[in-house]
Amino acid sequence: MRRPRAAGLPAPVPPGGVLVAADGVTVRLGGRPVLERASLRAHAGEIVALVGPNGAGKSTLLAVLAGDRRPDAGTVQVAGRPVERWHGRDLARVRAVLPQRPTVAFGFTVRDVVHMGRAPWAGTPAEARDATAVAAALDATDLRALADRPVPTLSGGEAARAALARVLAQETQLVLLDEPTASLDVRHQELVLTVARRRALDGGAVVVVLHDLGQAAAYADRVVVVGAGRVVADGAPASVLRPALLGAVYGHGVEVLEHPRTGALLVLPARPAPPGAPASHPFPHVTEVHHG
């Protein structure tokens, strides 16, 4: 099926509007379902975190939302239009994707790679923003000092930030991120998620795959738990991040605590007490949260 011709600059989705919607999505690989009847929506102005164990189907769901993988059943709409009806360049002006393992095979500099994010806007009035968008993306990812370094000479974390900067420079309303914090130190993990929060506050929608449940609790407006190819929970962090549910999905005990000073949710793996540890709670001012 041919995609339609490019239609020009996209109109932004208003605050609260649905930027991407998947309904009843099923994907099979080798005859085995890796997603079954999964549904999800992301609205302008929010961060949606996809969490779940390895192999649960999170990256597959993100690829379906991006239009990079066609489902065997179900539908996907981006900005109110079926994803298969978008011309490739038009779609790239609406959504940007950070894959789980971005690679650069040649000796491009960081600035070169970030500038690649501006390709969808070539020949449009938005092209006048190229230099500004690239500079802003370098600053947002703490890469200005490395802008002229060849990407193959960077550390893994630096290269991951360069890939994120390319996504930011694309300046799309919908941003899809697959494990953007996986190879980063603590400072840059917080930087990346703060950038995601800023994008949502500016009217974008961010769908992000995370393994750190504490990060999902701290930054997401909604958490979608994926287990064995199914969406098993979808809601506000406080309603979804429950010890019983998470323990069942991950096959490992999980504790959900309230921070003693801020009240923020802390999500930690349950661990046995070390030999000789006191029987009382090691953090007497921390309260365990039980939902239902």
Letter string b/e over residues 216-242, b meaning 16 or more CB atoms within 10 A of that residue's CB: bbbbbbbbbbbbebbbbbbeebeebbb
Residue where the block lists tokens 């769908």: 207
Close Cβ partners of 16 (under 8 Å, ≥ 6 residues apart): 43, 44, 45
Q: Cα dist. 86→17, 20, 81, 168, 213 in Å? A: 18, 13, 7, 21, 34
On whether the 18-240 domain is CATH 1.10.287.90, my answer is no
Residue type, 229: G
Residue 1: predicted pLDDT: 44
According to DSSP, the β-strands at 73-78 and 81-82 are antiparallel
pLDDT value for 86: 95
Q: Which residues does 272 contact at the CB level (< 8 Å), separation at least 6?
A: none
> What is the reported pLDDT for 292?
45
Which segments of the chain have a pLDDT < 50?
Answer: 1-6, 292
